[in-house]
Amino acid sequence: MRKWMSGVPIAGAYALSAAAYARLAPEVQPDFSPLLPVRIAAEGPVPRVAVAFLIPTIALGVWLLLAFAVRVRGPVKGIPEWWLNEKSGAASISRFEPTYETILFSVAALFLLMHAVFVAASLGASSWIYQVATIILGLGFIAVGNVMPRVRPNWIVGLRTKRTLSDSSAWTMTHRLLGALMIAAGAIVIILSIVAPRYALISSLVTLLLAFVFAHLFGTRAADARAKTDPA
């Protein structure tokens, strides 16, 4: 039952579309200015069907793709063997399946959040809706960061580089640091959502990118340092 829970947010996105469809104009002009520090000129109206179904359909496609990917054992022609092999394929997911399902649910919930903001912007919602959305985004960062240290080497989620997938110590240290940095990033997003909401979304992108870069840089360095100090 738990493995199907990640489909709940996607079903919720379609339900939201069904509820809001009649209220949407045939062509709408979403206003995302409350989410951005600068005003971006609109390129033109968006058809109602795109507002209602584009993001949920993308989310469904991603969910189905991940459902297929989790069954791939590897190696597979065309994919580097250091990335997908017998150790990093389907068997690896079973070692942290509850954590994987939590991350998958969080990704699906992010799509639902994006869709809710898109629909709200198309209906001319009040600006506080966007603050709530970015606060929830920050909480999502914290939730994923909390479980990130429990992720084991695999080819689907986490910082999957040649170094981390070939060195279990580098993987462990990198993802412990990544989890802490994601929690910090989530806290920053929440604070900015309250005091400077126009900067919350852009800060989420910047802090998440920096979290990945610094986690890999300092996590692998820490693994190298430990390898040098450990007795042979």
List pLDDT tens digits, range 94-109: 889 989 999 999 999 9
pLDDT band of 5, cuts 50, 70, 90: confident
Beta bridge partners of 28: 46
Residue 116 CA to residue 175 CA, distance in Å, equals 30
Burial of 38 (0-12, 13-18, 19+ CB in 10 A): exposed
* Res. 2 pLDDT band, cuts 50 70 90: low
